Structure 1
Amino acid sequence: MAVFAVHYVYAEDKIPGRDEFRPEHRAWLNSQVEAGVVLTSGPYPDGSGALILVQGDDADAVATLFADDPFKREDLLADRRIVEWVPTMGAFSS
């Protein structure tokens, strides 16, 4: 399986919705951690978005999976980018 970086970009006008759905979003992410799909996740300190590292067969499969994320489902993201990432050293390298 390949590793993908899922970049979330937050919009200022969506803050109330993200606050409302954050518990459900984090529960969904935790279920993906338990399933071995999400490797790690966290917001950027400046509040502009988040990075989620995941394992998947391809970018389309990751996009399909992430359609179930409450932040995506509720249209709470300004942008989402899914990019295959090839770690060559460290914790996530093969």
Structure 2
Amino acid sequence: MPKYVLWGTYCDDVLEKRAPYRQAHLDGLAQQKESGVLITIGPTKDITKVFGIYEAEDEATVRQLIENDPYWQNGIWTEYSIKEWIQAV
């Protein structure tokens, strides 16, 4: 199954603005991880970018997961890009 890399950007003042949506966001990620579609995800140390790796049937599936996330729907993630990734090692 193909793998996809996510790079996204957080809003300004992310630590304050994410608070109302954080638990729903984490619960959704836990479900994705349990199902096997999410390999890993997390912020850069400076909390300006998010990085993730997904394993899914197609890019549309990954886009749907991202766009249904409370962080995307509430402007915590402000933009994102997805690239299909070839894991060489």
Provide the TM-score with structure 1 as the length reference: 0.83
Match of 1:63 in 2: 63
Which consecutive aligned stretches of 4+ in structure 1 deviate over 6 angstroms post-superposition? none
Give the Cα separation in 1 of the matches to 2:82 and 2:58: 10
Unaligned runs of 5+ in 1: 90-94
The CA deviation at 1:57 is 1.6
Match of 1:18 in 2: 18
RMSD, matched Cα: 1.5
State how 1:11-90 maps to structure 2 within 5 Å. 11-12=11-12, 15-89=15-89
1:51 aligned partner, one-letter code: F
| Structure 1, 13-22 or 25-34: larger mean CA deviation | 13-22
The CA deviation at 1:81 is 0.9
1:1-47 deviations in Å (ceiling 9; x for gaps): 11111112012155433122122111110110001110011110011
Unaligned runs of 5+ in 2: none
